[in-house]
Amino acid sequence: MSSMKETAFKLFDACESGKGWEVCKQYCTPSATFSAQADALAETKTLQAYTDWMVGVYTFAPDASYEIKSFAVDEERGNVTGYGIFRATHTHEGGPVPPTGKAIESDYVYIMQFEGDKVSHMTKVWNDGFSFKQLGWA
């Protein structure tokens, strides 16, 4: 496994497992940025803020899990793309409404841009509106 792929995989897993910045930061540059064209993440500009946001998901959906469907390295452009399916059920307090008991099964993609051997930027491609409808939030 290439160094980029291994680092990206470890970041993907730590982020999606709700480990937060304390674990994720070892795979990232200190000022790693984040972007997403999703209203729920419109104000989230750093990878630290995003990985800590993911910790919060586990407060209202402790059964959260993910499945990787594809993982690809683009050495020429210095990035790794991971496509996954996120699954969870809103069973605990947290989120914009009381627990709905509804489940989410949401496709998403991370594009992790590298600077040297660390991730310097991550873009998330995700339809938050569709996801929130599944959870009964919209």
Which ranges of the chain have pLDDT less than 50?
Answer: none
Measured CA to CA, the distance from residue 96 to residue 80 in angstroms comes to 33
Measured CA to CA, the distance from residue 128 to residue 121 in angstroms comes to 20
Measured CA to CA, the distance from residue 52 to residue 8 in angstroms comes to 17
The pLDDT value recorded for residue 1 is 55
Among 121, 111, 110, 112, which Cα is nearest to 31's?
121
The pLDDT value recorded for residue 78 is 97
Among 7, 40, 22, which Cα is nearest to 115's?
7
The pLDDT value recorded for residue 33 is 98
Residue 86's DSSP bridge partners are 66, 106
Measured CA to CA, the distance from residue 70 to residue 80 in angstroms comes to 10
Tens of pLDDT, residues 43-64? 999 999 999 999 999 999 999 9
In order of start, what are the domains of the chain with their CATH numbers? 3-135 (3.10.450.50)
Output the six-digit token pair for 20: 């937060």
